[in-house]
Chains A and B, each alone.
Chain A
Amino acid sequence: MSFGGEFLCHPDLFPGRRSGEPWGEWRLVLDVPGGPYRFSGLAETQVEALRLRFGRLCRVLDSAALKTAEAGVHTAVFRAPGADFLELDTRGWEYTLDLDHAESFVRIAGLRLMARLDWAPGITGGLWTPEVAGEMWVSVLENYLRLLVAYRLVAEGGVLLHSAGVSDGHSAWLLLGPSGAGKTTASRLCLAAGAEVLSDDLNAARFPDGGGGPVVARLPFTGDLGERQGEPGAWPLRAVLRLRQGPAESLVPLSPAAAFAALVAAAPYVNRDLWRREPLLAALDRLAHAVPAWELTFSLGADLWSILARIPL
């Protein structure tokens, strides 16, 4: 199927540039790693929904503030007719954005959304949706934001990882694996043992500007574990673990190449982008050499948290 055909009635009419009719005059900023992320053209109902979803990560701006806030990424939000989108039965469906990569842009089609990121050379975004309020609007924005964060982190030398992030309050561990590998299960086991779960789905690994080892930064994206309330922050990364579920616990060291391979597989969106692959691979190579990596096999009855805490530095 050609790009957009899974979601759009007229994929050939996909916007060729960032233009259209804004929903309103409202503007806000999301303070999320890789950001700040600035949005304009919003309706008041859209802003209210985002304030409920993102809480203190969300700041409403006046016009002057938007113009003076030079850092970060700007996304313009536009109206799109609901009739432009296919009606889809999403029961039992695994949702994946449809991406079209090119040298200077990425086009994105999804459930009730069209979007594009343009590089000139920094990233600017455009988002078209028929949703003006409520959960579906928040879902549209969040799916777009996940992808935007992935690209922004790579631009900063970091990476977005499909992973469970757990912490003892001093340092953090990243548990990697595809859907079904046990990230949420492992998160629940660690949570029950007193650990803090940063996210059971997506975490940011970054190298601080001032030098030093990699840190895990909390992101407001969660999986089946549901919303976790916690302060924004970053914790030194102690180890990366590739998860497997099995009858008995084992911990086997991974070679740097195997760790790198696990990290590449866990780097969503950008790992399929031929045009922006090299900075991603460079960041993952650096990460694979910066922290120890292990394959962790665990069972549902495992004292997973104790195993993590015993991993040598």
Chain B
Amino acid sequence: MSEITSSTVLRRPADIRYRRIDGEAVVLRQSTAEVLVLNGVGATVLDLADGKRPVDEWIDALAREYGADRETVARDVLEFAGEASAAGLLEPVPAMPATKAGE
């Protein structure tokens, strides 16, 4: 699996669904019926993983929301994103191939 950096764009795989309950997130992998519970920050990261915004923007949003030091947030978010990707809760969005001039 490729390394997650602040420029990586991540999304939730198609078979992953989640539901916020009282500040936590319950994540369901539909194909296997596996269920995980994430804390409030994990739930917010799932909200942010829309397949459009790079991780860098998540870091900004979380640092703002929690009033925390950006460097600390960046370290935690990259670690979480790596673990969540390894667990199959997030996946990188393939980069669009560059088009040739005139196409």
Bound CA span A271–B31, Å: 9
Q: Which residue of B lies closest to A258 (CB)?
A: B37
Supposing A258-B37, A261-B36, A264-B26 touch, asked if A277 and B21 sit within 8 A by C-beta, the answer is no
Q: Among A265, A274, A285, A288, point to the contact of B35 (Cβ < 8 A).
A: A265
Give the total number of A-B pairs whose CB atoms are below 8 A apart.
47
Query: Which 5 A-B pairs rank lowest in CB-CB distance, beginning with the nearest?
Result: A257-B24, A257-B21, A261-B35, A271-B33, A265-B35
CB–CB B35/A256 < 8 A: no
A: interface residue count bin: 10 to 19
Bound CA span A257–B27, Å: 10
Q: Give the residues in chain A near B36, CB-CB below 8 Å.
A: 261
Q: Is B75 an interface residue (CB 8 A)?
A: no
Given contacts A257-B23, A272-B32, 10 further A-B contacts (CB under 8 A): A257-B21, A257-B22, A257-B24, A257-B25, A261-B26, A261-B37, A264-B35, A271-B28, A274-B30, A285-B21
21 contacts between A and B (CB under 8 A): A255-B21, A255-B24, A255-B37, A256-B24, A257-B21, A257-B23, A258-B37, A260-B19, A260-B21, A260-B26, A261-B36, A262-B35, A264-B33, A264-B35, A265-B33, A265-B34, A271-B33, A272-B33, A274-B30, A277-B17, A285-B19
Bound CA span A29–B41, Å: 51
B35-51 contact mask (Cβ, 8 Å, vs A): 1 or 0 = 11100000000000000
Q: Is A304 an interface residue (CB 8 A)?
A: no
Q: Which residue of A lies closest to B25 (CB)?
A: A257
Interface residues of B (CB under 8 A from A): 15, 17, 19, 21-26, 28, 30-37
DSSP class of A's interface residues: helix, strand, loop or mixed?
A: helix
Bound CA span A97–B42, Å: 34
Q: Among A272, A274, A288, point to the contact of B21 (Cβ < 8 A).
A: A288
Bound CA span A122–B17, Å: 26
Q: Is A281 an interface residue (CB 8 A)?
A: yes
Q: Among B17, B21, B34, point to the contact of A256 (Cβ < 8 A).
A: B21
DSSP class of B's interface residues: helix, strand, loop or mixed?
A: strand
Bound CA span A285–B32, Å: 20
| Shortest Cβ distance from residue B27 to the other chain A in the assembled complex, whole angstroms | 8
Most B-side CB within 10 Å, residue of A256, A257, A258, A281: A257
Q: Which residue of A lies closest to B21 (CB)?
A: A257
Q: Give the residues in chain A near B22, CB-CB below 8 Å.
A: 255-257
Q: Among B24, B26, B31, B37, point to the contact of A272 (Cβ < 8 A).
A: B31
Q: Give the residues in chain B near A262, CB-CB below 8 Å.
A: 35
Q: Give the residues in chain B near A274, CB-CB below 8 Å.
A: 15, 30
Bound CA span A285–B37, Å: 14
Bound CA span A310–B64, Å: 46
Q: Give the residues in chain A near B33, CB-CB below 8 Å.
A: 264-265, 271-272
